[in-house]
Structure 1
Amino acid sequence: MAAEPSVEVVHPWSSAGEAHALDVLKEAVKNAGIAWKDSAIAGNNSNNQQQALQARLSAGNLPDVTQTVPNLMHAYVDQGVLTNLDAQAKEQEWDKKLSPEMRKVAMYKGSYYAIPLVEHRENIMWANKALLAKYGGELPKTWEAFNQLAERMQKDGVIPLALGGEDWQEGQMFTSVILGVGGKNFYNKAIIEQDPEALKGPVMVKVFDQFRKMINFSDKNRIGRDWNAATQMVIDGKAGFQFIGDFAKGEFLRAGKVPGQDFLCASSPDNGQNFVYLTDELAFFSQKDPQRQANQKKFAELVIDPAVQIEFSRRKGSIPTIMDVPLDQFDACAQISLVDRKDNQANGGMLPSFIENIAVDRDVRGVLMDVITHFANTPSMTSQQAADRIVKDLQNL
């Protein structure tokens, strides 16, 4: 008797919201007659997952599917271990269906090597509505307004800002600050182009000044705290705000909270409609067995299915990577992002995340993250010292 068709899927999704979203894809795969072999490797911002995959690569025992991000996908292509998806992309009209920025992140050297599962927005502000109501109920639209509100909360013994101790959490918050203080042109100049004058100039100093205030608005017990534990602080009213990607919404929803009723969401202060995007994409390791190849093809087909795209994003907090989706099937938070995505695609406001391995090479990301997290955890470091160190460390690459 032939073995049941199956796919082994390696991924880092372990929080309540992430697991709830993943059930959508698991169910679709099961309904297609394929067994799902789950290989969840959580923690350390997917670094644990990458280490495990490299070990399996060395052993010649690669899974069928892996969650990945663009720069890591590029490395796998260069190692010659990923399946080229061009034929399937043409057959299913990915060029027509996917958003322009998602097409870009799914391709490398002119070919498709991944299929984006979700499109996330990094620069989001989350707030506990009941707690905010004690302070007037208005979400701050500027950093100045946020600072004033946070100071009032702090004086009352309330933690203004929920933040964890992982470097990428600090990095995502830094993204909201640099975009709010500097604007999209500065983001492009400083982050994407790494222009030395921009990086060490007065605007970047102001960015670090505001970032220092943000760190001081968080609590002293943040070291070692996972992102979803920080989100839980906002859910429980133990903290007022969190600045993190829209995937946080999945945690609110799993806790039974309703957008606009229990929690509030908006683009971060002074960020306007600008949209810093990131993605979780799925790549397929090359397999010699024709049955495994067929299973992979069916799996990729399901990822881009509108029903899967819509329901997965509704649970995960993201928006679909496909463009043609009805606005009324999403909550208020997602509708903001869908509208902003459409507007920004015309005006250059779609900005790639550097934290999530899209905007810059991994070594450049490493320099930026090292300085950001060192600054966050070194109260004596000045903003000018941080700006100067970025320039110096980039020159030493």
Structure 2
Amino acid sequence: MKAKQKQGLARLIASVIASGAMSGIAAAQTPQVEVVHQWTSSSESFALQAVKDALVKKGLGWKDSAIAGDDGANQQQALQARLSAGNAPTAAQAQPQLLFSYAEQNELANLDTYAKAGNWDKLVSPELIPYVKYKGSWYGVPIDEHRENMLWINKKILQKYGGKAPTTWEEFNTLAEAMKKDGIIPVALGGEDWQEAEIFSDLVIGMGGPAFYKKAIIEHDPAAIQSATMGRVFDELRKIIGYTDPNRAGRDWNVATQMVIDGKAGMQIHADWAKGEFLRAGKKPGVDFVCSATPGSGHAFVWVMDSFTFFKQTNPAALANQATLANAVMDRDVQENFNLRKGSLPARNDVPQEKFDDCAKTNFADRAAGAKEGSVLPSFIENAALERDIRAAYVDVITQFVNTPSMTSAEAIKKLLASVKNA
């Protein structure tokens, strides 16, 4: 290589190094928030970008601490370890019972000042407020409201069988049997315990109604647990497991959703974050897939909420960054963009519905109707309706039942009664 070429190359390398160094310095100087969360699927990451983009406009960076797996249990363990070590992040995604746990440990920042300035008590959907407050004060900023009791169907497959979504579990079974006979996997399901328990929850609301859900789940009433209705719930759960494929062990929920998207399975019983995956794959409701409430639901709306919790900080700059993040999460445009991508409804009740698709508009309508009839209810799977030890009792028995083909419904009920009593 000639001398001039060597000198030119040297200058180029020096320039790149200097540019990288300056970029690193600039990045280091940009204030940022660290957020621990479990949103790692394609649609979840896309939705979260709506928050990140809003922060960039305010001159605030984002340090992503995403921890996937086991319906957030991995995130919870990692976060608890950090709290024990005195190394709390700026904020974390948290569901209600986890928020309460962090508040009880005196780890959370009180958000009442922001809530009062932003009029959160008037803007947040009323059923969510008791689950982001602790002892009367705000400790969480809710960003979405999912509907758990949902059914997703590949439209092309459904058209082979009349094109009508089932409205009763008897119709569901007839449709599933027809698919199975034709060599189609009727129900896409993952192998995680919470996915199995979610189906159980949908059966409780669909076969017993809101009053039974309140008794059997929220109040964990012994008479309801031992009832004939609960026996039918377990019987139907056994049938549905028979409609899944034997290779589901360890499968993530979004992989199961992809099976329906690709036509490898006909249906998925899953909350409406599944819709985010359909949309991210370029699929359209009513054209490529059919959405409906699970059979027997009526207007019942079993909700799941994600919120951001903020950990105590002493540095004034860190406190200012928290304020920016909290206000961004509650921003109306951010909530609109986030939930359009995520498949959920906004936690704010003043977000216009015009941009939302027909699936969401059905859920808006059912939530409004359900509020009038007392059928807007918290999910127990997603750490809202039940304390964590009682939730674990339900999930453990459901998992045993699903994975023990010889276990009868009567035996499962007996185990559930004992487990809840001892929780």
TM-score (norm 2): 0.93
Query: What amino acid maps onto 1:263 in structure 2?
Result: F
Whole-Å separation in 1 of the counterparts to 2:343 and 2:236? 27
| 1:174 is aligned to 2:174 | no
- Please tell me the residue identity of whatever aligns with 1:81: E
CA distance in 2, matches of 1:61, 1:395: 37
Q: Which of 32, 37, 53 is matched with 2:63 structurally?
A: 37
Query: Which residue does 1:383 correspond to in 2?
Result: 409
- The within-5 A match list for 1:366-377 is 366-377=392-403
Report the equivalent of 2:261: 235
**Matched AA of 1:113:** Y
Does residue 1:157 correspond to 2:157, yes or no? Answer: no
Matched, 1:62 2:88: yes
CA offsets 1:307-341 (integer angstroms, 9 cap, x no match): 10011000000000011122221001111111111
Counterpart amino acid of 1:22?
L
The one-letter code matched in structure 2 to 1:150 is: A
Partner AA of 1:28 in structure 2: A
Q: Deviations over 1:120-154 (max 9, x none)?
A: 11000000000000111110110000101111111
Unpaired runs of at least 5, structure 1: none
SS in 1 for 2:110: coil
Partner of residue 270, structure 1: 296
Distance 1:396 1:146 in 2: 35
How many angstroms apart in 2 are the aligned matches of 1:361 and 1:145?
34
Q: Distance in 1 between matches of 2:179 and 2:84?
A: 52
| Residue type at the aligned position of 1:342 | A
Given residue 206 of structure 2, which amino acid in structure 1 is its aligned partner? G
Question: In the alignment, which residue of structure 2 is the partner of 1:247?
Answer: 273
Q: Which amino acid aligns with 1:34?
A: L
Tell me, yes or no, if structure 1 residue 71 matches structure 2 residue 97.
yes
In 2: Cα distance, 1:379 partner to 1:31 partner: 55
The corresponding residue for 1:320 is 346
User: 2-side partners of 1:375 and 1:336: how far apart?
Assistant: 33
The two structures have a TM-score, normalised by structure 1, of: 0.99
Distance 2:341 2:286 in 1: 16
Alignment of 1:6-45 (within 5 A): 6-45=32-71
- Mapped to 1, the partners of 2:155 and 2:345 lie a distance apart of 23
| Distance in 2 between residues matched to 1:6 and 1:144, nearest whole Å | 53
Residue aligned with 1:328, SS = coil
Amino acid at match of 1:299: L
Distance 1:298 1:103 in 2: 21
Which of 243, 247, 252 in structure 2 is aligned with 1:221?
247
Task: Give the superposition deviation at 1:187.
Answer: 0.4
Paired AA for residue 280 in structure 1: D
Deviations 1:339-366 (A, max 9, x none): 1111222210101100011111101100
Distance 1:57 1:150 in 2: 47
Name the CA distance, whole Å, in 1 between partners of 2:321 and 2:57.
13
2:110 is aligned, of 73, 84, 103, to: 84
Quick check: 1:100 aligned with 2:126? yes
Give the letter for the 2:256 counterpart.
A
1:186 maps to which of 212, 227, 236? 212
Question: Matched residues in 2 for 1:325 and 1:283: separation?
Answer: 22
Selected match of 2:235 from 202, 209, 217 = 209
Aligned to 1:148, the other structure's residue is in SS state helix
Find the aligned partners of 2:406 and 2:371 in 1 and give their Cα distance: 41
Cα RMSD of the aligned pairs, angstroms, is 1.0
**Shift of residue 201, structure 1, vs aligned partner:** 1.4
Paired position in structure 2 for 1:360 = 386
Deviation for aligned residue 1:99: 0.3
Question: Matched residues in 2 for 1:94 and 1:123: separation?
Answer: 27
Q: Deviations over 1:205-239 (max 9, x none)?
A: 00000111110011111111110000000000111
Q: For 2:83 and 2:65, locate their aligned partners in 1 and report how far apart those are by CA, in whole Å.
A: 15
Is structure 2 residue 320 aligned with structure 1 residue 282? no
Could you give the per-residue CA deviations for residues 66-100 of structure 1, whole angstroms, max 9, x where no partner exists?
A: 00111111111111110011111011000010000
Q: Aligned AA for 2:335?
A: Q
Counterparts of 2:350 and 2:71, CA distance in 1: 31
Q: Deviations 1:256-286 (Å, cap 9, x if unpaired)?
A: 1011100010000111110000111100000
Q: Counterpart of 1:308 in structure 2: which amino acid?
A: V
CA distance in 2, matches of 1:118, 1:324: 13
2: CA distance between counterparts of 1:395 and 1:176?
23
SS of equivalent residue, structure 1 residue 215: helix
Q: How far has the Cα of 1:3 moved from its partner?
A: 3.1
Q: Please list every run of 5 or more consecutive structure 2 residues that lacks an aligned counterpart in the other structure.
A: 1-24
**CA–CA distance in 2 between the matches of 1:361 and 1:52?**
20
Hey, what's the Cα distance between the residues in 1 that align with 2:186 and 2:195?
A: 16
Partner of 1:126: 152
1:44 offset after TM fit, Å? 1.4
Residue type of the alignment partner of 1:111: S
C-alpha separation in 2, matches of 1:361 and 1:254: 34
